Amino acid sequence: MQRALRAITAGLWLIAAAALAACVKADSQVGFLPAAFKDKAPTPTAVDPKPDIKALMRDRRQEIFAGAIDSVEVGPPHPKGSHWMFCARATGRGAAGQPLPSQTYLVEIDGDAIGDRLPVDGAHWCAREPLEPT
């Protein structure tokens, strides 16, 4: 009886060790395991080519700013992971023709598509970015 109990206990320990080894397999940076237990390190994704921000804003500024736009200024593109982001500021007129205050946005570009567009306030780094007219 004691021998059977030891065999069951040993079997449970082996199952627990195998389960723990399977959990560790996901981490390629663990140094104490043999290479057979490690996954390969992920390959870094390629960064999209640097976009021409001024041309993008001339062709597609209505995707970023709504309403009647008088002038648009843009900053240089900054890499964000495999994408790019840039700052843009526009001045425009409201529906009745009254001038509206300028609004600055942080815009993300994914390939040729305009992604997120987030309005920023004066405390954000984007509001202090040097901008050039398009």
Q: Are 102 and 77 in contact (CB under 8 A)?
A: no
pLDDT band at 119 (very low <50, low <70, confident <90, very high): very high
Instruction: Over range 21-30, report the average pLDDT.
Output: 56
pTM: predicted TM-score of the whole model, two decimal places: 0.63
Distance CA 130, CA 73 (A): 9
Domain positions in the chain are: 2-37, 53-133
What is the predicted pLDDT for the residue at 33?
A: 63
The amino acid present at 100, given as its one-letter code, is L
Helix (H) or strand (E) holding 117: strand 113-120
What is the predicted pLDDT for the residue at 56?
A: 85
Q: Are 125 and 118 in contact (CB under 8 A)?
A: no
Inform me whether the pLDDT recorded for 85 exceeds 60.
Answer: yes
| Vertex 65: Cα angle to 64 and 70 (nearest 5) | 135
